[in-house]
Amino acid sequence: MDLRRKIETLTAGAKYDASCASSGSTRPGAGGREQRVPGCCHSWSADGRCVSLLKILLTNLCVYDCAYCVNRRSSDTPRALLTPDEVAGLTMDFYRRNYIEGLFLSSGVARSPDYTMELMIAAARKLRVEHKFPGYIHLKIIPGCDRRLVDLAALYADRVSVNIELPSAASLERLAPEKSRDGVLKPMAQLADSIEAGREERRRSPKAPPCAPGGQSTQLIVGASPETDLQIMRLSQSLYGKLGLKRVYYSAFVPATADSRLPAVKEPPLRREHRLYQADWLLRFYGFSTDELLDEKCPCLDLTFDPKTVWALRNLDRFPVEVNTAPYEELLRVPGFGVLTAKRIVRARRAGGLRLEDLSRLGAVMKRAVYFVTAGGIYGGLRRDDPAAIRAKLLEGPSGKPAQPELFEPAPETVDNVKLCFLSKEKDRCALLLAYARRAFAAGKGLNERLADPVVNRAQKTALAVLREAHRFKGLVRFRELEDGTLYSEIEPDHNILPLITNHFRRRMAGSSWILHDKRRGLAAMHAGGRLRLASALEASVPPPSEKEKRTASLWRAFFDSVSIKERLNPGLQRQFVPLKYRKNITEFGED
């Protein structure tokens, strides 16, 4: 089997694993400097999921016959196995072209857990030791492998994970009888001990090698077994509390094989999966507990309303909340307020009292929040003791365009705002900067607390728009290798972001010669011999790509086309994250 066919086969076998995070690690790159962008997505597949890592199986050969798994022993599917050299080579080729932030390596169990785990570790070792790979590595731990191999995997990987898959021992016994609950939980407990010991060692000696600095995660399949949301969320809460997991991922069950033990599912329970993620975030970031959201009488999450809104409707005696005086912890519990909005409210009210009309400028979704808050004692909702009327009102009108939550995005300060607004595409940016500067001289250090001021608010939003596009392009830039070995990329961003992203690529690609060309503005950043310069480049004569470039681009498209799940296709969401206007310069949207 040729390499392209291997990639297609082994990507298709790995695509049901939900994790694609590349954040949480502080592993340094060359020169001791961090070279990764936390949370950076490099593309989005046709089902709307982030593509940050080369997510692939080492092999889809497997000695187990789990009912729900596409790679089960009895499945009539082509089988393939990548060598450690092939895994390392693909990862390096994709990484240097900015296709990916790193590697996510999972596997079926070939021969034995120890044999498979040794091959996976060999691939990670080649990347770290032979190729000096500074990117992100996530390794799956094979349950049943030797403790020594678990610790070795944590030494080379940024994050490790053991998938529980099924939420109860009874379901595991029924659908995966060759596995045991203890066999899955034991390596998770070992990892928790090793990670904590590694952190303690690094506190004593900062030069000690990191041990899975991104922590560990797991995944639960939703809908393949009869467990309720209450059971699932109690398990997740226990994993966060007892084993210190960084993430629990939830994957809507997609029937990949025919088996009488599995439920007849017409379509994946995507809405239920979404509600579980919302409840999970309430546990991790909003101070909720599972028993506040669910109980034995109501063990399943409402599919019509998000969990926070349902909780608020059940607890109307705790509302409305006065936004000018309520503690931050109470603001977090208001439907329509996220972490960022609550922080903005606390900051803005220091400069003066807030009105209801100010809240939308601070990011509040007032369609929901209006029924649960007052501002200066003024209430804009319905009768406070009538949850049915509020529910009916909440169902009226469009729900709005879904957006990627930006929970912890910091607001730029005054000087940063000026620089970012200057780089924006806004035609009246000079007038905006003049008005903003006048307010800055009048207000001094308290300027950015006046978020209710329309000029300050617009300057903040303009600055954030520039920052967001710069962050987005750190992932969407695609380099191609030219005949002379130089890496070349063309971009056409809305804003003048080239000065904001060049240092990122200078660190990431310190040993390479590269050119990043903003064709819209006729500017280019050129890096060679460790030196970086910006120059005018209205027209550029670009040599043709190398032969290796053509092969690598073809392999990348094979991976990208295989990673989406057809039952989850969502081209609208993909367009939201990768607008059509950007795609002509993005390799995976081209043709071989």
Average pLDDT of span 509-526 = 94
The pTM of the full predicted model, rounded to 2 decimals, is 0.90
User: How many CA atoms within 13 Å lie on the side-chain side of 531?
Assistant: 3
Q: Which amino acid is at 44?
A: W
Residue 451 pLDDT > 90, yes or no?
A: no
Neighbours of 360 (CB within 10 A): 15
Q: Which amino acid is at 500?
A: L
Name the burial class of residue 317, with classes exposed (0-12), middle (13-18) and buried (19+) by CB atoms within 10 angstroms of its CB: exposed
For residue 126, the 8-state DSSP code is: I
Helix (H) or strand (E) run with residue 379 in it:
strand 378-379
d(CA 267, CA 254): 7
By percentage, how much of the chain surpasses pLDDT 70?
93
Q: Any idea which residue has 């889809």 for tokens?
A: 60
Indicate the average pLDDT of the chain: 91
Residue 334 pLDDT > 90, yes or no?
A: yes
Residue 279 pLDDT > 60, yes or no?
A: yes
Neighbours of 292 (CB within 10 A): 15
Q: What is the DSSP string of 8-62?
A: HHHHHHHTT-------S-----GGG-----TT---EE-TTS-EE-EEEEESB---
d(CA 141, CA 204): 28
Confidence band, pLDDT 50/70/90 cuts, at residue 404? very low
Confidence band, pLDDT 50/70/90 cuts, at residue 439? confident
- Copy the structure tokens of residue 100: 């990916």
| Closest listed residue to residue 133, CA positions, set 206, 25, 5 | 25
Going by C-beta distance under 8 Å and a sequence separation of 6 or more, which residues neighbour residue 193? none
Dump strand ranges (E) for 440-588. 480-481, 487-491, 514-518, 523-528, 531-536
Q: Are 6 and 554 in contact (CB under 8 A)?
A: no
pLDDT value of residue 411: 52
Q: Are 120 and 139 in contact (CB under 8 A)?
A: yes
pLDDT value of residue 24: 58
**By three-state DSSP, how is residue 491 classified?**
strand
Average pLDDT of span 31-41 = 55
Residue 423 pLDDT > 90, yes or no?
A: yes
- Copy the structure tokens of residue 182: 């203890």
Residue ranges per structural domain of the chain: 3-19+39-293, 307-394, 414-474, 484-543
Residue 489 pLDDT > 50, yes or no?
A: yes
Residue 182 pLDDT > 90, yes or no?
A: yes
Q: Are 137 and 21 in contact (CB under 8 A)?
A: no
pLDDT value of residue 540: 64
Q: Are 390 and 381 in contact (CB under 8 A)?
A: yes
| Closest listed residue to residue 513, CA positions, set 482, 538, 491, 540 | 482
Residue 195 pLDDT > 80, yes or no?
A: yes
Q: Return the minimum-mean-pLDDT range out of 10-24, 113-127, 266-280, 308-322.
A: 10-24
pLDDT value of residue 156: 96
User: Radius of gyration over alpha carbons of the chain, in Å?
Assistant: 25
- Copy the structure tokens of residue 517: 């060309």
Confidence band, pLDDT 50/70/90 cuts, at residue 25? low
Residue 409 pLDDT > 60, yes or no?
A: no
| pLDDT tens by residue, 114-151 | 999 999 999 999 999 999 999 999 999 999 999 999 99
pLDDT value of residue 397: 57
For residue 424, the 8-state DSSP code is: S
d(CA 165, CA 472): 32
Confidence band, pLDDT 50/70/90 cuts, at residue 560? very high
Name the burial class of residue 563, with classes exposed (0-12), middle (13-18) and buried (19+) by CB atoms within 10 angstroms of its CB: buried
Q: How many residues can be counted in the chain? A: 592
Residue 405 pLDDT > 60, yes or no?
A: no
Average pLDDT of span 451-456 = 85
CA triple 464-487-584, angle to 5 deg: 60
Residue 37 pLDDT > 70, yes or no?
A: no
d(CA 198, CA 213): 9
Q: What is the CATH number of domain 3-19+39-293?
A: 3.20.20.70
Name the burial class of residue 74, with classes exposed (0-12), middle (13-18) and buried (19+) by CB atoms within 10 angstroms of its CB: exposed
Residue 291 pLDDT > 80, yes or no?
A: yes
Bigger pLDDT: 13 vs 443: 13
Residue 583 pLDDT > 70, yes or no?
A: yes
What HEC string does 298-359 produce?
CCCCCCCCCHHHHHHHHCHHHCCEECCCCCHHHHCCCCCCCHHHHHHHHHHHHHCCCCHHHH
d(CA 446, CA 551): 55
Going by C-beta distance under 8 Å and a sequence separation of 6 or more, which residues neighbour residue 177? none
Maximum C-alpha span of the chain: 74
Q: Dihedral (C-alpha) 448, 450, 454, 456: value to the nearest 10 degrees? A: -10
For residue 533, the 8-state DSSP code is: E
Residue 479 pLDDT > 60, yes or no?
A: yes
Residue 28 pLDDT > 60, yes or no?
A: no
For residue 128, the 8-state DSSP code is: I
Residue 402 pLDDT > 70, yes or no?
A: no
